Amino acid sequence: MGELPFKISQPLSLGIELELQIVNTRDYNLTRGASDLLGALAKGGSPGDIKPEITESMIEMSSSPQTSHAGLLAELRAMREAVAAGARKLNLGIAGGGAHPFQKWNDRRIYDTERFNQLASLYGYLAKQFTVFGQHIHVGCADGDEAVYLTHMFSRFVPHFIALSASSPFHQGEDTLFDSSRLSAVHAFPLSGRIPLVRSWAEFEAYFAKMRDYGIVQSMKDFYWDVRPKPEFGTIEVRVCDTPLSIDRAAALAAYAQSLARYLRLERPREVSDDLYLVYNVNRFQSCRYGLDAELIDPFGGVRAKVHEDLVATFSRVAAHAEELGCRSVVQGLLMGAQDYGNDARRLRARFKETQSFADVVRWQCEQWMQVR
Amino acid sequence: MPELFFLPALPLPSNQIIWFGVLLVAGVVGGEIAKRAFFLPRITGYAAAGLALGPDGFALLGRPMLDELRVFADISIGLILFELGHRIDLRWLKRVPRLALTSLAESGLSAILVYFTLTQLFGVGPLHAAVAAAIGLATSPAVVMRITADLGAEGQVTERTLLLTALNCSIAVLALTALIPSLYLEYRGGWRIIVLHPLYLLGGSFVLGLAASALTLQVLQWIGKRVEVQVLALVALILVTVGVALTLKLSVLLALLAYGGLVRNLDRNHSLAAPDFGLIGQMFFLILFVLAGANLDLAAAAKGSAIGAAFVAVRFIGKAAGIMAFIPGSGLKARQGLLLAVALTPMSGLAVIMLQDTQSLFPEFGRALASLVLPAVVLLEIAGPILTQFALKLAGEARPGPAAKS
In the prediction, which pLDDT does B71 show? 86
| B61-66 average pLDDT score | 82
Residue B11 preceded by cis peptide, ω within 30: yes
- Give the pLDDT confidence of A70-111 residue by residue, as tens digits: 999 999 999 999 999 999 999 999 999 999 999 877 677 777
- Give the pLDDT confidence of A260-277 residue by residue, as tens digits: 999 999 999 999 999 999
Q: How many CB pairs under 8 A join A and B?
A: 54
Q: Touching check for B21 and chain A: CB below 8 Å?
A: no
In the prediction, which pLDDT does B406 show? 29
In the prediction, which pLDDT does B399 show? 85
In the prediction, which pLDDT does B17 show? 85
In the prediction, which pLDDT does A334 show? 96
Cβ neighbours of residue B188 under 8 Å, at least 6 residues apart?
none
Q: Touching check for B154 and chain A: CB below 8 Å?
A: yes
List the Cα angle B172/B175/B176 in 5-degree steps: 85
Cross-chain CB nearest to B270 (options A33, A109, A360): A360
pLDDT-derived band at B405, boundaries 50, 70, 90: very low
Cross-chain CB nearest to A40 (options B155, B331, B399): B331
User: Cα separation of A220 and A232, whole Å?
Assistant: 9
In the prediction, which pLDDT does A46 show? 62
User: Cα separation of A122 and B64, whole Å?
Assistant: 60
Q: Which residue has the higher pLDDT, A225 or B273?
A: A225
Q: Touching check for B7 and chain A: CB below 8 Å?
A: no
* Percent above pLDDT 70 for chain B: 98
Contacts of A361 in chain B (CB under 8 A): none
Q: Which of B156, B400, B157 is nearest to A107 (CA)?
A: B400
User: Cα separation of B339 and B325, whole Å?
Assistant: 14
| A231-250 average pLDDT score | 96
Give me the residues paired with residue A86 across strands: none
First to last CA, chain B: 57
Q: Which residue has the higher pLDDT, B296 or A145?
A: A145
User: What is the residue-averaged pLDDT of chain B?
Assistant: 90
- Give the pLDDT confidence of A104-142 residue by residue, as tens digits: 776 777 777 787 788 778 877 777 677 889 999 999 999
Q: Which residue has the higher pLDDT, A173 or B133?
A: B133
- Identify whether the C-beta of residue A163 lies closer than 8 Å to the C-beta of residue A287: yes
- In this predicted structure, the answer to whether residue B250 has a pLDDT above a threshold of 70 is yes
- Identify whether the C-beta of residue B141 lies closer than 8 Å to the C-beta of residue B81: yes
Q: Which of B266, B288, B173 is nearest to B220 (CA)?
A: B266
Contacts of B159 in chain A (CB under 8 A): 24, 90-91
In the prediction, which pLDDT does B1 show? 58
